[in-house]
Amino acid sequence: MRNIVIFDTTLRDGEQSPGASMNLTEKLEVAQALVDLKVDVIEAGFPIASPGDFQAVQSIARNIQGSTICGLARCNDKDIDRAGEALKDAPDSRIHVFLATSAIHREFKLKMDKEEIIRRAIAGVKRAKGYCDNIEFSPEDAARTEIDFLCEVVEAAIGAGATTVNIPDTVGYATPEHMGTHIKQLVDRVPNIDKAIISVHCHNDLGLAVANSLVAVENGAGQIECTINGIGERAGNCSLEEIVMALRTRADHYKAGTGIETSRLVPTSRLVSSVTGIEVQRNKAIVGRNAFAHEAGIHQDGMLKNPTTYEIMRPEDVGFQKTNLVLGKHSGRAALADRAQALGYHLEGEKLQEVFEEFKKLADKKKEVYDSDIAAIIDQRVATGDDQWQLVRYELKLSGDGIPAATVTLKRGEEEATDTFFGGDGPLDALFRVIEKITDLKVVVRDYRVHSVSQGKDAQGESTVDLEYQGRLHRGRGVSTDTIEASTLAFLNAVNRAALSTAAPENSAVYTKL
């Protein structure tokens, strides 16, 4: 069995998904979850892109141990030095340098000829080598690069010291046959290929990212770049959970495996979905809510007789819990921490106490507290920092002719403010407008959703609000047994995020123009 290196780029390419920005606390949570999942390499960000990205990579490099921490850089001195600086405190680091090689990119984007590309690739890898031994080189848009030139660039990068050569299908153009041939040609024609690991980074524009990555493995790739839930630019990247379970389930064919702790797949998927606000579709392979649900009578009958009749993987192998009816109002702190751990969260000290208090309040209101309720409470805590506006109380009245009057009290640190708004397009609009008044932020709501996070008529509602502020989209979430309160919390959460992006533009996930 060959070991395939799993390179996770949820925090870099994944964060480039529109609306998927994460703040520093969330990035640290996700990075720790990736370590628990036992990914080999975490691409933590693109340090030159913004001060916020630099800080995130540096913080992950300093605080998260157990996986190699990687930072992305273009092939120029400034980018590479910035990545080297961000990573300098990591016990185990990698710099990932990239430079486009396809004819389209050479001519229209870079305006460089082939010689210049080779010269820069060599110089970039050599400079990165000054910071650490572990260097990955990516010829961007490799899948559309002429194979002869690709072989030349890859040979030059390895000659300069690259230890991994990554072959990106940047625009998701490759088919499995195309990808397989490309990798095979590199294996057969690059004389020093044995000095580096071949990696692939497949985008999913044609829905082929996982299939293309599998064919690459068949043809000699030893690393796969992927993201949790397959998030990433446009249609996203190869989904980590799908590629890992494909290799594991069909080890008979691929004769390759990974070190991934597969029982952490569902908790990690849930965490990433919750911090990015990108929902996992119900029928998504491996981690979707319906992935192991059998509806047809014939299937259910077969399952009762022998689960292998209709199941090629066991739900518990990917982290679905057998029962998710868990805690009640008599449950203690340790039980909560334990349950949270199973759901993919680390709770201790003050944070455990805060979540515990919220849990007790919920257990008083609700008869049964489900896993999803607990996850929702924790996510809500992660979403709101102490330096941001918090909801203290709200009051909503409707006059005889149906005109709403909303009064809201918010608190930020020691500061407390109350205001009222009369009118608006209904009660929610009135509540949102008071929040705009108090926080002094004018926003436009672009999307609004509410759904229940568990079962029963006392289920908590989770609301998601997408709002636009200064040309950027900010997503907020809120959870409560009262859907009006959930919506108010979601709006406030999005406003806090918007405010944070103006106070410190580095908090924005939008990359500077490259």
Footprint of Zn ion on this chain (CB under 5 A)? 13
| C-alpha 454 chain-centroid distance | 23
- Site residues for ligand KIV, 404-433, by CB under 6 A, read none
> Among 400, 401, 399, which residue's Cα sits nearest to residue 420?
399
Q: Which of 45, 47, 71, 168 binds ligand KIV (CB under 6 A)?
A: 168
Q: Which of 140, 373, 379, 462 binds ligand KIV (CB under 6 A)?
A: 140
Q: How many residues does the chain have?
A: 514
> Among 448, 500, 55, 35, which residue's Cα sits nearest to residue 277?
448
Judged by beta carbon, residue 8 or residue 13, the one nearer ligand KIV is 13
Helices (H), 294-449: 297-305, 333-342, 349-365, 371-383, 427-439
Q: Does 138 bind ligand KIV (CB under 6 A)?
A: yes
* Least separation in angstroms between CB 203 and ligand KIV: 6
Q: Which does 227 bind (CB under 5 to 8 A by kind): Zn ion, ligand KIV, none?
A: none
* Least separation in angstroms between CB 96 and Zn ion: 11
Q: Which does 140 bind (CB under 5 to 8 A by kind): Zn ion, ligand KIV, none?
A: ligand KIV
Q: Which does 98 bind (CB under 5 to 8 A by kind): Zn ion, ligand KIV, none?
A: ligand KIV
Q: Which of 50, 55, 134, 170 binds ligand KIV (CB under 6 A)?
A: 170
Select the residue whose beta carbon is closest to Zn ion and give its number. 13
Beta strands in 223-343 (DSSP E): 223-226, 256-257, 325-327
The secondary structure of residue 203, as a DSSP letter, is B
Judged by beta carbon, residue 170 or residue 223, the one nearer ligand KIV is 170
With beta carbons less than 8 A apart as the criterion, state whether 407 and 419 touch: yes
* Least separation in angstroms between CB 202 and ligand KIV: 9
Residue 199 is inside which H or E element, if any? Answer: strand 197-202
Percentages (nearest 5) of helix, strand, coil residues in the chain? 45, 20, 35
* Least separation in angstroms between CB 117 and ligand KIV: 15
Q: Which of 27, 94, 182, 201 binds ligand KIV (CB under 6 A)?
A: 201
Burial of residue 417 (CB within 10 Å: 0-12, 13-18, 19+) is middle
d(CA 93, CA 96): 10
Q: Does 137 bind ligand KIV (CB under 6 A)?
A: no
- Tokens coding 291: 């992935």
Judged by beta carbon, residue 98 or residue 131, the one nearer ligand KIV is 98
Q: Which does 33 bind (CB under 5 to 8 A by kind): Zn ion, ligand KIV, none?
A: none
* Least separation in angstroms between CB 233 and Zn ion: 6
Q: Which does 94 bind (CB under 5 to 8 A by kind): ligand KIV, Zn ion, none?
A: none
Angle between helical axes of 209-218 and 176-189 (0-180°, round to 10): 30
- Site residues for ligand KIV, 61-80, by CB under 6 A, read 72
> Among 476, 407, 471, which residue's Cα sits nearest to residue 448?
476
With beta carbons less than 8 A apart as the criterion, state whether 352 and 341 touch: no
Binding site for ligand KIV (CB under 6 A): 13, 72, 98, 138, 140, 168, 170, 201, 203
